[in-house]
Structure 1
Amino acid sequence: MTSLTILGTAAPYPLPDRPCSGYLLQGGGARVWVDAGPGSLAELLRHTSLDRLDAVWLSHLHLDHIGDLLNAYYALSYGHLPSRAVPLPVYAPAALATRLAGFFEQPDADFVSDVLDLQSLSDGHKLQLRGLTLTSRLVEHGIEAYGLRAQAEGASLAYSGDCTPCTALDELAADVDLLLCEADVDAPSTVHHTPEDAGSLARRAGVKRLVVTHVGPALSPEGATARAAEMFGGPTVCATVGETLSPW
């Protein structure tokens, strides 16, 4: 059965009971932690453990999407957790290695290789994890950033990551069963979606269901969801921490 569990939705910093971006994606027998915003690891551990993950997938390198990867490294290295047979694959922009090395004041990121297997994303990158297919596309966010399309068991899901409306995201979202889209800003932006942008994308792409997430501090999640729903005209819900949507 496919499922999406919401681990965090806040931007650009965590709030009480609302971590930053993080999602547990399951399908085809695989489990993937999609984005690892601050606070999302604790929520992930309510539902699974790091040794049971098949991969981590990070859309871009802003702190509100990767902060808890550092905590995952510490957990795997020093936390006396169930051991993994192999290091945990982490798919992310290539500069992640440099970020980790700088944070830990190391010459390179080789020091994490015993627990984390860093793999670089690229436009059109395709990954097969058991019965789950992940396709990444380069989207427009002012830095290297990726949107995601997941397919398993005859179902499909698209995730915007953080970006402004763009052709690549339209292609990822085309006819998906579930679109998980940010609605960060109140007015048109060169780096983020407004609620109306999210609703327009859902309508334009012909998606079956829209889930609004990553709502910034200038908006309320409920208000942003209502605005997106009005533009979409189809089933629209607000991403809520702890909720599992199944199937996609």
Structure 2
Amino acid sequence: MRLSVLGCAGSVPGPGTPTSGYLVEAGGARVVLDLGSGVFSGLLRRCDPFDLDAVLLSHLHLDHCADFSALATYRRHHPEPPYDPSSRRLSVLAPGHAPERLAAAHAASRADLERLRLDELFDFTPLAAGRHRIGPVEVEVARMRHICEAYAFRLTHGGRSLVFSGDTVQCGELVELARGADLLLADAAWREQAGRADHLHMSGKEAASVAAEAGVGRLLLTHVLPWSDEQGVLADAVAEFAGPVELARPDAVYEV
């Protein structure tokens, strides 16, 4: 499997860094994990969006789904699509209220909201804990602990696996999903801090603790907030996890 980072900033874009978005390629399948602010541009540099097999949205905060509007516009208005998008709707696995939420973000008026039906272009599947198959790729889904409905994904192909935490606090559900994975792409928004609000994000140390308990092969830290001390986040994780640890970078590519 190949993981391409389209964006990795937390909450808002950083200088030259879009928010959450990743492209996974395996066995000829192309799957996008999240489509945050500015991510669509990076996707266009990697592949034709018409060649995608599925989009997985971990949750519906804008830093994880804002550029879904760009994808919808591209599929609806491209003058020379390789096929009729309404005849080959793109699979979207997302929280159950995604069709209404994403249509509202895409529409500029109430009339648009009534007219622009996203289910003409996309085949929405409500997320829940369980397993799915996207071509040759197996996807396991687990509910996470965030301030809204949120999920993590484990993608497996050819005996290799990667786990994307989405946004979550440290929890046993993520440890179980990540157990033995080759790579954990983990929310690590900040350093340890007293009085932090619950059910938002992990620190670098907490993400590393999950990686150590789950016995993953490699830890990739993402969703660091632009105002956080990213080198401190990395140092905290390195001190907690004995395996390889890196900060995700936009346009970086990782072989899993």
Q: What interval of TM-score do these two structures reach, taking the shorter chain for normalisation? A: over 0.9
SS in 1 for 2:120: coil
Alignment of structure 1 residues 85-100 onto 2, 5 Å:
86-100=88-102
Change (3 A) 1:14 1:80: farther
* 1:44-71: CA deviation from partner (whole Å, max 9, x where unpaired): 1111111110000000000000000011
Alpha-carbon distance in structure 1 between the residues aligned to 2:226 and 2:14: 10
Q: 4+ residue runs of structure 1 moved beyond 4 angstroms?
A: 106-110
SS in 1 for 2:31: strand
Unpaired runs of 5+ residues, structure 2, are none
User: Paired residue for 1:240?
Assistant: 249
RMSD: 1.7
Measured after TM superposition, the shift of residue 101 of structure 1 is 3.6
Match of 2:104 among 94, 102, 105: 102
Measured after TM superposition, the shift of residue 134 of structure 1 is 0.7
TM-score by length of 2: 0.90
Q: AA paired with 1:183?
A: A
Measured after TM superposition, the shift of residue 95 of structure 1 is 1.0
- Tell me whether 1:149 sits opposite 2:154 in the alignment: yes
Q: AA paired with 2:144?
A: V
Alpha-carbon distance in structure 1 between the residues aligned to 2:55 and 2:102: 15
Match of 2:235 among 203, 215, 226: 226
Change (3 A) 1:48 1:196: same
Measured after TM superposition, the shift of residue 127 of structure 1 is 1.4
Note if contact 1:75-1:81 (Cα within 8 Å) is conserved in structure 2.
Answer: no
User: Paired residue for 1:134?
Assistant: 139
User: Paired residue for 2:224?
Assistant: 215
Note if contact 1:101-1:108 (Cα within 8 Å) is conserved in structure 2.
Answer: no
Identical pairs, percent = 36
Note if contact 2:6-2:39 (Cα within 8 Å) is conserved in structure 1.
Answer: yes
Alpha-carbon distance in structure 2 between the residues aligned to 1:177 and 1:42: 28
Note if contact 2:179-2:216 (Cα within 8 Å) is conserved in structure 1.
Answer: yes
Alpha-carbon distance in structure 2 between the residues aligned to 1:99 and 1:61: 8
TM-score by length of 1: 0.93
Alpha-carbon distance in structure 1 between the residues aligned to 2:227 and 2:159: 37
User: Paired residue for 2:201?
Assistant: 192
- Tell me whether 1:181 sits opposite 2:191 in the alignment: no
Q: How many residue pairs end up in the alignment? A: 245
Alpha-carbon distance in structure 1 between the residues aligned to 2:15 and 2:244: 28
User: Paired residue for 2:64?
Assistant: 65
User: Paired residue for 2:121?
Assistant: 115
Alpha-carbon distance in structure 2 between the residues aligned to 1:81 and 1:91: 26
Measured after TM superposition, the shift of residue 190 of structure 1 is 2.7
Measured after TM superposition, the shift of residue 88 of structure 1 is 1.1
